[in-house]
Amino acid sequence: MADFADTEECDDQILTPNELIGLFMEGWQNERLSPELLPHLGYYVDCMMEQVSQMEENIQHLDKKDLRRSIHKFELQRMQYLINNYLRTRLDKIEMNALSIIQDENTRDDDERYLYPSERKFAAEYLMHSNKLFTALLGNMPVSARPLTTNQAMIKPDLETHVFIRVKKESTVIVPDEDEGKEDEIKLEENSQHILPYKCIREHLKNGDVMLI
């Protein structure tokens, strides 16, 4: 009996279990290390959930004394942790930057949205309740502080922060040199590692040319 399905059709891709887990782990790592919310991996989450269900069903058919049962349960727990931690990380970012995320989301076409449908609902409800709380707090503050608006109090991701990257595909980035008041072009060789401002590699990350480490 196989522990997984032999292949998984996901987003028009035919993936082996190892390929699926590898892609999801890379996406999970990028999300955890990125200062901003990245495009959702809803299709991989769905595929991972299917694999979890398949594993749970297969485990039930193993004898309780079978050593494979413990090994498979450990792997199952690892997969469940990855899924839960990935979703929790995204919710934490939504809570931290709800207004800026929703504003950015509203500028994108439906097929370019970063939020999963359930995340959009959560973000809208969270922002609504936050606005009510913010308004109530302002009502109890000195008059001089009341002109403060939700936009002024909004927290935005720090895109200037430096990140560690590993290059998956050779490319070049433009890095500003504040001391010289100019920009430098840096060649990123495949499999090389660098520390660079996040904003310089932002699009390369979303294109899959680099990954965060």
Question: Could you tell me if 89 and 168 lie in one domain?
Answer: no
Domain membership flag for residue 128 = no
Domain range spanning residue 175? 158-213
Six-digit token pair at 196?
């660079």
Residue keyed to tokens 């359930």 = 118
What are the helix (H) ranges across the chain?
Answer: 17-33, 42-60, 67-96, 98-105, 117-139, 150-153, 198-207
End position of a domain, from candidates 71, 96, 121: 96
Q: What is the DSSP letter of 114?
A: S
- Write down the pTM of the prediction: 0.85
Alpha-carbon Rg of the chain, whole angstroms?
22
- The one-digit pLDDT tens for each residue of the chain (213 residues) are 334 445 555 545 678 888 999 999 999 999 999 999 999 999 999 999 999 999 999 898 888 888 888 888 999 999 999 999 999 999 999 999 998 899 999 999 988 899 999 999 999 999 898 888 877 877 777 766 666 666 666 778 999 999 999 999 999 999 988 767 788 899 999 999 999 999 999 999 999 999 999
Domain membership flag for residue 38 = yes
* Strand 8-10 with 13-15, pairing: antiparallel
Total tally of structural domains belonging to the chain: 2
Four-residue CA torsion sign, 201, 205, 211, 212: positive
End position of a domain, from candidates 96, 128, 146: 96
